[in-house]
Structure 1
Amino acid sequence: MTFQVETGDRSDVVDVTGRVEETVPTDVDRGVCTVFVPHTTAGVVVNENESRLRADIERGLERLAPRGDDYAHDAIDDNADAHLRAMVLGESVSIPVTDGSLDLGTWQSVLFVECDGPRTRSVEVAVVQY
């Protein structure tokens, strides 16, 4: 299943937990849900969906790979920092499924992290029962 995420800024953290949860079939007793972002300048993580932490994620990524830091790739499309940030974040997460629901911890959410927006992005979700 694929759904779209609209981002509003160059860096943006969007909680997609509910949208991912909607894709999990209710008849899956035990399984795994993989969330995949097919983009080289965006990522997905599991972390707490708290406004100050989302801002901290954005600031931390900026410190890790500052924009305009004389990257060779910037000669092509001026977004090397976004590629580097996305590489650190990763393009997928896997979450256990129990009784048709994501088996996340109390404070865990699935967060889509935009590094080169604003854009319309795709998120792919696959659930396998075992």
Structure 2
Amino acid sequence: MKIYFEDIYVSTSKQFELVDITDKVEEAVKKSGVTNGMCLIFVAHSTAALVANEHERGLMEDILTKIKEFVEPSRGWKHNLIDDNAHAHLGSTFLGADRVFPIRNGRLVRGTWQNIFLVELDGPRSERHITIEIIGE
């Protein structure tokens, strides 16, 4: 069994943003040499998340609109007394910091329209750290 790690870094330019990392994840799968297994993607931040969905501008804007409605950035959250970013922590909590995809025949298994996105909830940030772990044969 092989275990392969790769760290990628992404910068963001907006407070709320979706950054497509699909190509970077697929490149890591190829480099790993794993034919069949699993790919774990983990964002090492408590104010960012990962999602899988279609890379279509209108949908991406809709996703961000719904996230903003859900986390209510202007609400008087108690954590805002410390960092003024409670909405980002809440969004990360409910969206999740990780995603797992199968690997079959050396390729990441995902739906036709499924891409992998970093969800920036507290940007802009010069660097977001994402760990990719690939396990298999």
**2:6 maps to 1:9:** no
- The equivalent of 1:87 in structure 2 is 93
- The one-letter code sitting in structure 2 at the alignment partner of 1:16 is I
Assess if the C-alpha contact under 8 Å between 2:32 and 2:134 holds in 1. Answer: no
Q: Segments of 4+ in structure 1 off by > 6 A?
A: none
Partner residue in 1 for 2:105: 99
Identity %: 38
Find the partner of 2:54 among 17, 35, 48. 48
Aligned length: 130
Give structure 2 stretches of 5+ with no counterpart.
1-5
Deviations 1:6-55 (A, max 9, x none): 11100000110000111113632210000000100000011111111111
3-state secondary structure, aligned to 1:94: strand
Q: Secondary structure at the match of 1:64?
A: helix
List runs of 5+ in structure 1 lacking aligned partners: none
Please, what TM-score do these two structures have when normalized by structure 2?
0.91
Rate the CA distance shift 1:26–1:91 in 2: closer, same or farther, 3 A: closer
Contact 1:27 1:99 in 2 (8 A): no
How far, CA to CA, are the matches of 1:109 and 1:38 in structure 2? Answer: 19
Aligned counterpart for 2:131 among listed residues 121, 124, 128: 124
Instruction: Describe the shift of the 1:67–1:26 C-alpha distance in structure 2 as closer, same or farther (beyond 3 A).
Output: closer
CA contact (8 A) 1:10 1:118 kept: yes
TM-score (norm 1): 0.96
Deviations 1:60-115 (A, max 9, x none): 01110111201000000100011111111100000001122111110011111000
Q: For the residues of structure 1 that align with 2:117 and 2:56, how far apart are their CA atoms?
A: 11
